[in-house]
Every structure is written in C-alpha cells, then in structure tokens.
Structure 1
Amino acid sequence: MEPRKKVLFLCTGNSCRSQMAEGFARALRPDLEPYSAGVEKHGLNPLAVTVMAEAGVDISGQWSKTVDELPIQEFDSIVTLCGHANENCPYFPGNARRIHAGFDDPPSLARDAQSDEEALGHYRKVRDEIKTFMASFE
C-alpha cells in the first residue's frame, strides 16, 4: 500500500476555504493526508461549519492555524485557495507541487447579505465549488 500524499490547503486566515478543502479531502479522498493553514489565523468560521455539516462533513473539530503551527513542514502538494495566500505562500522544504485554485471568499461575498439565508447561499456556492475541485484533485 502506497503512503498517502500529504497535501496542504492554504488560504489567508484558515477560517473557511482551506477548512472546507481539508474537510472534503478527509471525507472524499482516503488517498490523501490533508492539512490546512493560513498565512494568518482568523479562527474557524461558524458558517463554514454549518454549510459543511449540510453536506455531511463535520469540520467542527478543526481549528484555525498558521503554517508555523503545522505538525509537519514537508508536503507532496501545496494548494493555495486565494490570491493573497498564493502571493504570500511561505517557503516549504522539499519538492512540493504548488497548485493555485482560487475560490471567492465567502465572508466577503456575504458581507452585504440581507439575511442569514442569503449569507449561507454564498458559503454553499463556494463549498460546492471546493467539493467539485476536491473530487477531481490529482
């Protein structure tokens, strides 16, 4: 049996997109050993937890962390999920494959939402895009 590939999902605050990607990787991809982190630490977004639970994936036990807090520093792939993380991705030792897969920021999209349901709609849209990405991730 081959070892699982170590993948880091990186976004600005490790509050939403990278947490969703880590959650879907755990749920859909037994061939991966997923991690997530942020260039900064903003805390786990409760609306991300809500929409992931709707999709049958529990990320409530995950937490926001920076790359310095990760238990390992060598990855097979590093996936940046926003432009800021892509531009500010720290150096990692080894020969990790760098991939940029930019997704809209749900909190920014939902900033002017007139209701909780409207706000959740933005989170669901990004959640579904990340799920599609993770299902075809190579």
Structure 2
Amino acid sequence: MNNILNEKLESILSLEISEERKAVLQPLIEYIKSKREKEQAIRLNFICTHNSRRSQFSQIWAQTAADYFQLAAQCYSGGVEVTACNERTIASLERMGFIVSKHGHSNPIYFVLHTEDSRPINVFSKLYDDVINPHTGFATVMTCSHADENCPFIPGAEVRIPVRYEDPKAFDDTDQEAAMYDERSRQIASEMFYVFSRV
C-alpha cells in the first residue's frame, strides 16, 4: 500500500463492525473459505443497479483486502443498467489514497491502483454479465436492495449473497456529499478487510 492509503487503513481497521453486520458477512466468509480449502478460484462479482457507487467501492476494497492478505481472489463488479462510474466515487477513492487514471469520456475506464506497481483494478459501469466478468464459478454479492429485489437470477453464479449498503447518492450536491461518500467507502473497506481477515 502507498503511504496515504496505509494511513487511512489504520483508522479503517479500527472501525467497529456490529454483530448484525458480521452475521450478514458470514456467508461471504464461508464461501471464500470453501473455495480456498478446495483450491478453487475465488471469484466475487459485486452487483448494484447502476454499477456506479457501492458495487465499485466493494470491488476495489475487496480486491485490495485480498491483495493485502495475499489471497488469490479476483473481484469484479456489474449492474443491471449501464451508466458510468460516478465521479464522486472516484473522488472518494482518491481521497483514500488510491492512484487513479481516467481513460475515455461518456463511460470512462478508470485504472485504480493501491501501489504504483500493483495490477490495475479496471473500473467502469457495465452489466453484471459483461465479457470481462466471470460467467461460471463465482459468487454474486448484491450490494443494493433494488438490484437484489429486481434481479432475482444471475446466470452462472454458485451462490447469491446479499451484503447491502446505503446509497451515498442521497447526499449528491449537498454539503455532506464528500463526507458521506467517504463514510460509505470506509464502511465497505472495513467490512471487506474483516471478511478476508477471517479466511
């Protein structure tokens, strides 16, 4: 991790996770453990409606946590509609210390790195079954209630695990915008690090 991200991680790892949230996360922990014990690939596809906020935070923090604990997991994200990764999401990731480069315009691809020499995490809005996402042998992790309720079947998924988060979109264009995006980012980070620490 780079220095800024390391500093942020210290405070993130000190966040308390409630017993209720630990229970929500337990099926994800069990899935990863099971795949690891069987020496099978660990693939996680995080899904929310627009693939622009919560699923992107989840993919990036889960991949970062997996790399931190040196677990060979591959983390993806997708949606049920294509929009663009929200610029507020990217701004929050930059405040956390990630190195981000932007490529393209209407639905840009962002390369997100946690160290200068790490493998880039490719971030852009796409459908859950986009060609770059896994089509068999993966866990679907539903990060929003709308997608969870309106997308009842994900082809190829071995399991479907709801890990829902509140949408920071509610604070767009308010004076709380940056703080609430960072709060959601930190929550997701703390939970993904908890998940991978338990494996």
Q: TM-score, normalised by structure 1?
A: 0.85
- Separation of aligned partners in 2, 1:91 and 1:69: 12
Q: Cα deviation per residue 1:17-53 (whole Å; 9 max; x = unaligned)?
A: 1111111122111322001000111201111111112
Answering whether residue 130 of structure 2 is matched by residue 69 of structure 1, we say yes
2:94 corresponding residue in structure 1: 53
CA-atom RMSD in angstroms:
2.0
Q: Percent identity?
A: 26
- Separation of aligned partners in 1, 2:180 and 2:96: 14
Equivalent pair of 1:14/1:40 in contact (CA under 8 Å): yes
Q: Cα deviation per residue 1:71-117 (whole Å; 9 max; x = unaligned)?
A: 321243111001011112333225x2211111111112x1461x3xx
The 3 A distance-change label for structure 1 pair 132 and 120 is same
Given the alignment, which residue of 104, 113, 120 partners 2:166? 104
Equivalent pair of 2:45/2:128 in contact (CA under 8 Å): no
Structure 1 alignment gaps of length 5 or more: none
Larger radius of gyration: 2
* CA apart distance, 1:69: 1.6
Given the alignment, which residue of 10, 18, 25 partners 2:55? 18
Equivalent pair of 1:7/1:75 in contact (CA under 8 Å): no
- Separation of aligned partners in 1, 2:45 and 2:143: 10
**Count of aligned positions:** 133
Deviates more, 1:58-67 or 1:121-130: 58-67
Deviates more, 1:50-59 or 1:118-127: 50-59
Given the alignment, which residue of 44, 61, 73 partners 1:7? 44
The 3 A distance-change label for structure 1 pair 3 and 55 is farther
* CA apart distance, 1:54: 1.8
1:93 corresponding residue in structure 2: 156
* CA apart distance, 1:58: 4.1
Structure 2 alignment gaps of length 5 or more: 1-35, 101-109, 112-122
The 3 A distance-change label for structure 1 pair 124 and 44 is same
Q: TM-score, normalised by structure 2?
A: 0.61
Equivalent pair of 2:138/2:156 in contact (CA under 8 Å): no
Equivalent pair of 1:8/1:75 in contact (CA under 8 Å): no
Deviates more, 1:40-49 or 1:5-14: 40-49
